[in-house]
Amino acid sequence: MGTTVTRIGAVVVAELRAAGYMESTIGQYVKTIKALAAFVEARDCVYSPRLGAEFASMTVSPRTGRFSVQRRFAFGRLVRVFDSYLCSGRVDLSVCRRGGGGPRPSVSSFATLNAAWEVDMERRCLAPATREAYGRVARGYLVFLEASGVSDLDGADGASVLAFLESLVSGRWAKSSLFWVVSNFRSFLKFTGRVDLVEALNVAGVKRPHEIISPLSDDDEELVVAACASEAVSARDAAITLLALTTGLRACDIVDLRRRDIDWRGRTIGIVQQKTGNPLRLPLPSLLMAKLADYVLDERPVSDDDHVFLRSKAPHTPLSGHAAVHRVTVTTFRAARVANPRAGTRLLRHNAASRLMAAAVALPTISAVLGHASMESTNVYLSVDWERLVECVLPVPEGARQ
């Protein structure tokens, strides 16, 4: 009966509270437990995984009559916890990482092609974030073909590629972001062996945006460093912000940083970059070392996980990726009272590069520090060094002034 759900729910709530979950989160669990209890009681039976699956499938809000993302998340989360308890006798609160986002193709030939693409990406040891980006756009194209009545790739033509890109622009993608979609899409089309589809993608003529990102002003950088040195910012957030600010590390490498990567005596970190696979060793400034030590010794939750940075709230799992680092840096910038708190590792990588340039550091050295596979990737940062660019301007010949 529903009392079975109530009994299991009490165990779940006790475990959540013991694990240090916020009361607001526990309240959301309690609300969903009550909904599940009423659902089971109406069927006059005890809880089972079959009933749980039926409950989790109820993703339409009775209030609005529309699909509810929050409802799907809350119902599915509780059912996973209940099912794990029935199976093992313990409450499993581990975070369930979602698979590739977005809809997946249902036509057999497309599902097989998508699976083969995922296997190929894994075989080539692409970084998880890269596999997700490549996989998402590939699945989007295959689902687009399905919706257009195409059930096999042989039925697709170059026009379908252009129509797919147009559907993205008219949907949620900004035109300025389309270059990254095309870049990810090209890899998949090459994998299919369809040269005509690759050529159609080239015909689209999507150009890479060359936005010039201005570095932080000296005053703003001083405000950020001062905030990181103060009590206004947690040791974890200060360490993450200073890592991005002083080293220019990518978000994926900050998130994946392990305790074993820190050489406390040598005051350096040594990693293998996720994007390029290249080894990188960087010196750490004194303030950054101090904040890392404060975090690891006093603030970091107790965990067997080797990742340096963990969620400050339960569950104490590693940070989820770029979005988590962006939230941390924006929070730090706001605490520093920076006038325009636009932060993130992209800005801070540009800032680190521009500071090195201003110090007349050679381009190959900057490329190595930023972890670029090619020095050409570093050339984009030349656009921010206005003073040196002005020095490169040649005087107009006397005869040309007439």
Question: Is 75 contained in some domain?
Answer: yes
How far apart (Å, rounded) are the C-alpha atoms in residues 49 and 79?
A: 8
Which pTM does this prediction carry?
A: 0.65
Q: For residues 317 and 309, is the Cβ–Cβ distance under 8 A?
A: no
Kindly state whether residue 396 falls inside one of the protein's structural domains: no
Which pair of structure tokens corresponds to residue 125?
């040891």
Do 242 and 360 belong together in one domain?
yes
Same-domain pairing of 67 and 115: no
> Residue 401 class from Cβ within 10 Å (0-12 exposed, 13-18 middle, 19+ buried)?
exposed
Per DSSP, the three-state class of 264 is: coil
CB 368 within 8 A of CB 272: no
- For the stretch 320-358, pLDDT in tens is 778 888 889 989 999 999 877 666 677 787 777 777 776
Residues 48 and 142 in one domain: no
In this structure, the answer to whether residues 245 and 155 fall within a common structural domain is no
Least confident residue range of 94-98, 235-239, 288-292: 94-98
Whether residue 290 sits in one domain with residue 157: no
Domain assignment present for 39: yes
For the chain, give the percent of residues with pLDDT over 70: 82
**Cβ neighbours of residue 344 closer than 8 Å, sequence gap 6 or more:** 251, 322, 325, 326, 329, 330
Q: And the tokens for 29?
A: 């669990």
Query: For 138-163, what is the mean pLDDT?
Result: 93
Question: Which residues form the domain of 117?
Answer: 108-203
Shared domain check, 372 and 225: yes
Q: How many whole angstroms separate alpha carbon 225 and alpha carbon 216?
A: 12
71 lies in a domain? yes
> Is residue 401 in a domain?
no
DSSP-assigned states of every residue in 366-397? HHHHHT-SSGGGGGGGGGG-HHHHHHTPPPPP
- Give the domain CATH number at 343: 1.10.443.10
Q: Report the number of distinct structural domains present in the chain.
A: 3
In a domain, 344, yes or no: yes
Considering the domain boundaries, does residue 97 fall inside one? no
Residue predicted with more confidence, 231 or 344: 231
Same domain, 342 and 278: yes
Q: Which among 203, 234, 259 is the end of a domain?
A: 203
The answer as to whether 99 is a domain residue is no
Q: Would you say the C-alpha torsion 331, 298, 230, 284 has a positive or negative sign?
A: negative
| 234 and 323 assigned to the same domain | yes
End residue of a domain, out of 54, 88, 122: 88
Q: What is the CATH number of the domain that holds 197?
A: 1.10.150
Q: Are residues 225 and 186 in the same domain?
A: no
**What's the pLDDT tens digit per position in 184-228?**
899 999 999 999 999 998 888 777 655 556 677 888 889 999 999
Please indicate, yes or no, whether residues 228 and 372 belong to a single structural domain of this protein.
yes
**Same domain, yes or no, for 224 and 369?**
yes
The alpha-helical segments, DSSP class H, found in 336-373 are 345-358, 363-370
pLDDT band at 391 (very low <50, low <70, confident <90, very high): low
Mean predicted confidence (pLDDT) in 172-192: 80
* 254-187-96-1 Cα dihedral, nearest 10 degrees: 160
Same domain membership, residue 372 and residue 226: yes
